[in-house]
Amino acid sequence: MMKKEIGFIGLGIMGKPMSKNLLKAGYSLVVYDINTNAVEELVKAGALEAKSAKEVAQRTDIILTMLPNSPHVKEVVLGKDGVLEGAKHGCILVDMSSIAPKVSQELFNICKEKGVVLLDAPVSGGEPKAISATLSIMVGGPEDAFESVKEILHKMGTSVVLVGEIGSGNVTKLANQMIVALNIAAMSEALVLAAKAGVDPERVYQAIRGGLAGSTVLDAKAPMVMQRNFNPGFRIELHIKDLINALDTAHEIGVPVPLTAQILEIMQALKADGKAGNDHGGVIQFYEKLAHVEVDCRE
């Protein structure tokens, strides 16, 4: 038996596998993306095609968006042929993009005037966890709307938590991205130190991963960098976007974040060096260049 028809806008690295998992769970999906190849792939998997965000909203009561940044979300929601042009009174819009919390708050108020409830629900876990439906999903917004979509979100993630009012989801995501970036930087410094000292980085990793230095980030990224695999994953340029949002938010409320500022500048240096499209594990290349050593454990 098919479940309720829902809309999905944004079929990129994350949105595509997330939407496929909803199809696997038995939901009927109406999808839209400016990338027609991505739409065709989803249609082949069983989704229904819409020609605009407006049409998605006209055909569904629950709409999910997964877009790159704040301007894209604003355009899809507020722009010509956007969600609000077609949305029914009482529909729920779940923005799963990672954007500035203040933009989520602004959109919430505009949507409310149109009778639409907005939740901000960014995710963590990158493409691998999007594929395996094991994302962490951090949600901000009204509790009743959250309860209405919680079952849907659980088809894409194993951790689905309402953390507070609108914008809270994206504040939580910024905190997550700060911790992930600094974990990658710490791992990079450590593995470059090991390589330069003539100690096998693979053995160092195996020795420390079960102790206090062990982390999900270490287990996800150390094997990749030691195999020189910098395919995203999660691109450095997207992590830069998140850290800029983190700094902007921190500065607005008077919170000093000196380590976040430092790793942002490291990522900006890599972007200037032509590595913006690398996985964020590629941060290690900044340290390798300075130390004149490569952490390469390929046989």
Distances (CA, A) of 236 to 10, 21, 121, 220, 231: 20, 26, 21, 15, 11
Which of the following CATH numbers is that of domain 171-291: 1.10.10.10, 1.10.1040.10, 3.30.1370.100, 3.60.20.10? 1.10.1040.10
Q: Render pLDDT for 201-238 as a digit per residue (tens, 0 to 9).
A: 999 999 999 999 999 999 999 999 999 999 988 899 99
Rounded to the nearest angstrom, the gap between the alpha carbon of residue 23 and the centroid of all alpha carbons in its chain is 20
CA distance 68 to 3: 28
pLDDT of the residue at 125: 87
Its pTM stands at: 0.91
Query: Any idea which residues carry the catalytic annotation?
Result: 173
Please report which confidence band the pLDDT of residue 127 belongs to, taking 50, 70 and 90 as the band edges: confident
Q: Which of 18, 25, 31, 29 has the alpha carbon at shortest distance from 1?
A: 25
At the topology level, CATH places domain 3-165 in: Rossmann fold (3.40.50)
Domain ranges for the chain: 3-165, 171-291
- The answer to whether 180 and 161 are in contact (CB under 8 A) is no
Looking at the predicted structure, is the pLDDT value of residue 1 above 50?
A: no
Q: What is the mean pLDDT of the chain?
A: 96
Virtual torsion, Cα 267, 269, 272, 278, nearest 10 deg: -40
Looking at the predicted structure, is the pLDDT value of residue 153 above 50?
A: yes
pLDDT of the residue at 2: 43
pLDDT of the residue at 3: 55
CA distance 73 to 219: 32
